[in-house]
A and B are shown apart, each in its own frame.
Chain A
Amino acid sequence: MRAYISLTTSGLKSFVRDRGGLFWTFFFPLFFIFIFGSIFSKQGDKDTNFKVAIRIVMLENSPATSWVPDVFQNNPVLESTLTDMETARKDLSAGKARAIVVFPKDFSLNLLEKKPSEVTIITDPAATQMGMTAGTIVRTMLTGIEKKSANTPDLFNVQNEVLQQTSKRNKQKQNEGINFLLPGILAMTIMQLGLFTAIPIINMREKGILKRLQATPLPRGTLVASQVTQRLVIGVVQTLTIVTIGVAFFHFEMVGSWPILLLLVVFGVVTFISLGAVLSSIAKTQETGISLVQLVNFPMMFLSGLFFPVEILPPFMKPIVSVMPATYLADLLRHVMSGAELAHSLPTDIGILGAWLVGCMFIATRIFRWE
């Protein structure tokens, strides 16, 4: 245990002191976020000039209440559309609208009887920020209407409701812009963190460090555990950095659970470390090691749907895409972080990633060379 701790802390110390390595580990993913993120947030700027889209549903079609849509229409920050309940729900779940305002069947009757009417505001729990904004605006407007009709102080009894069936949410919104990009970049980061483990391993072998350690009673398992731990620590710090930057600067909406995300990060790091260990056993020198890692890294970077959806790739590439582990890691990360619908099924994602993990571990334990 003492050896494990000292190896791990020494490794991390070395990592932090290696400015070059540190730079690439954090600069590279952040570079991608800023490049692609700026492109997306330019589109987002248009959004801020946009009005907040809402849907108005009148359950009663009466001339006595036809003034209601007009009031909403006249609000400069709202873009309201009168529609039926079904369409409204669809639009909300697709992200085309941020809130639905529902006026009850007995609205005109209540107006006559000067009784409060139950108005329901439905928002999407996933799009919390926009939903809250829309809800607030609508509520403010309703209060305004109440004030104008002085003879009925309690015109509305506002009910809040959230959209059910979140899993059926259209992936359009959860899968666009930064919400698509950021999990992809995290997948890339995890992939590279694991793959590039090959280089220090080859380095340790070339320089005789592995040999030197073998001359001590240090168990090999401790060495392996320490290497994996170091990578996991780095991976978690990278994850926190990437998500924080995404949220702070690019309006990334982290909807999933952190524990599940971190669990997924661990799964991804370990899988790609195994792949890195296999590569490190094939390459004899650091130079061939770097070439080999890049040979695996580059296709996965661009063909696994990390930066853009795989749908835009030519069909003949589909088989390559469908065997690459990064494809499935990115899919899982998007599901967990952005709440996007899975492109594959959960068992497929976990199964294929798991197969890579088990397969690479099996091969690595067989062909790994200590000297």
Chain B
Amino acid sequence: MSQKERSRNMNAILVENLKKSYGPNLAVDGISFAVERGEIFGMLGPNGAGKTTTVEILEGLRSLDSGRVELLGMESGKTNSKLKEQVGVALQSTTLYPNLTSFELIEMFGTFFKKSVDPDRLLESLGLSEKRNSLTKTLSGGQQQRLAVALALVNDPQLVFLDEPTTGLDPQARRSLWEVIEGMKEAGKTVFLTTHYMDEAEHLCDRIAIMDHGKILAMDTPQNLVASEFPERAIQFEAPAECQPSDFDQLTGVTRSLRENTEIVLYSQSVQKTLAALMDHAERNSIELGDIHLRRATLEDVFLKLTGRSMRD
């Protein structure tokens, strides 16, 4: 076995120079990345970044224009049913077959695969046992999301795709779904997820790719991403509306500044000096500063810096 082959077999996902365009729009512009087996890999990006297109090509739902996609050492493709046996997919919440019960739906999906998990065990592991005989249209948003995840696991797949699994869920429901996803990792599955939530990505993902305009802008562990993109810390304070962020750019140590609602955020590599300069500046110009606080840069800051957009835009 050659070195290259061995490394390929280590990978759950291998994407090389993937391109896809719709008419004149280049949705995916030559991206390459690899996801190791057993990893939870997150893909972040604003709407229209090319995330969904990428994921759907990986899931075998769309054809690619050029490049190569390999999943679990197999060539990916729309008709590769051998591969589909090993892959689980949870699309964004939709009520599939509203007039079937949770059990019936899982049981039916099970028949599409050569091997399938016992529906009751699956329902139990997702905390849906008491909803076993409820029609799926009567389930709450969180329960439907969990059912979608259950369907993704019905064939006990090695590789699971989750498309924004916790969007629209209350914090408690999100937490419980996080536990399920962590359970997948413990079971040795590879998880590829897209999300809108930075805390989710930070909490769950071993590695993250930030995507915009069809390109991957950065890819690393959440910690490394923050550390490499933001050695600075953020100084945040309330300032009168007439204050411009640029007013503070000249202060010692400030690398970037921006306004977030009523607050101004200054990123600084030397917090102590910047704070002193800020106080001095406020004193001299008689600016009323309120609620001054310090925080580490977060993934959200990284995202904002790289894409110029906030996550929920």
The chain A residues found within 8 Å of chain B, CB to CB, are: 2-3, 5-7, 10, 13-15, 17-18, 207-209, 211-219, 371
Contact = CB atoms under 8 A, between A and B. Distances in A.
B91 A17 contact: no
Contacts of A371: 61
Contacts of A213: 112
A213 to B, nearest CB: 8
Q: Which 3 interchain pairs have the tightest Cβ spacing?
A: A217-B81, A215-B89, A14-B99
Interface in B49-66: 59-61
Interface residues of B, number: 31
A207 B108 CA distance: 18
Contact of A207 (B95, B105, B111): B95
Contact of A216 (B98, B99, B112): B112
B150 to A, nearest CB: 13
B33 interface: no
B79 to A, nearest CB: 9
B84 A208 contact: no
SS of A interface (majority): helix
Given A14-B100, A18-B99, A6 B107 contact: yes
A216 B135 contact: no
Contact of A13 (B91, B99, B113): B99
Contacts of B109: 216
B302 interface: no
Contact of B108 (A7, A15, A215): A7
Contacts of B99: 13-15, 17-18
A13 B108 CA distance: 12
Given A3-B111, A14-B99, A17-B135, A212 B94 contact: yes
Contact of B91 (A6, A14, A18, A208): A208
Given A211-B91, A212-B89, A14 B112 contact: no
B112 A218 contact: yes
B71 to A, nearest CB: 12
Contacts of B91: 208, 211-212, 215
Contacts of B95: 207
B96 A6 contact: no
B104 interface: yes
Nearest to B98: A14
Contact of B85 (A2, A3, A212, A217): A217
A21 to B, nearest CB: 9
A252 B113 CA distance: 49
